[in-house]
Amino acid sequence: MLAVVVGPLMEELVFRGLLLQRLMVKMSVNRALIISSILFGVLHFESWLSAAIFGLMMGLLFLKTSNLWVPIIVHIFNNLVVVSLNLWQYRQGQVWTLEEAHIFLPIYLVAFMILPVIIIFIRKYWPQDHMQLPYLLNQSHQ
């Protein structure tokens, strides 16, 4: 429950809801997005690069939708998949060695095939420097 719901909720509130927007006040949107994503990756030190890329995508989702619930829900789904895979491995009663990890080959192939989609997504939704802060944009619609 903590890793699937509470963790993503708190991380999105801190990194996208607070940090990204505060950095955007002080610097360009691009720089704020990159810095907040790197800090998100550093928090997940064991897989910092993939976490930083994930943080970048969540930041882009937040900036594109101006809605913090979108990255929260995507983050919850991501963690649900990861925790489910870890539980499945645990229930098998073993920790796989590198030689035994071939059963994950289809997952690795899918992840590798998704890489171009991630690149296209980032390029398509990369923000312009003149964009308005999401919380200011949402306040103006009320």
Cβ atoms of residues 46 and 52 within 8 Å:
no
Q: Is 134 exposed, middle or buried (0-12, 13-18, 19+ CB in 10 A)?
A: buried
User: What is the reported pLDDT for 123?
Assistant: 83
66 vs 105, higher pLDDT:
66
Q: What percent of the chain has pLDDT over 90?
A: 44
Question: Which two structure tokens, joined as six digits, stand for 8?
Answer: 């993503």
Does pLDDT of 65 surpass 80?
yes
The confidence band for 126, taking pLDDT boundaries of 50, 70 and 90, is confident
141: pLDDT strictly greater than 70: no
The DSSP-derived string for 91-102 is: HTT----TTGGG
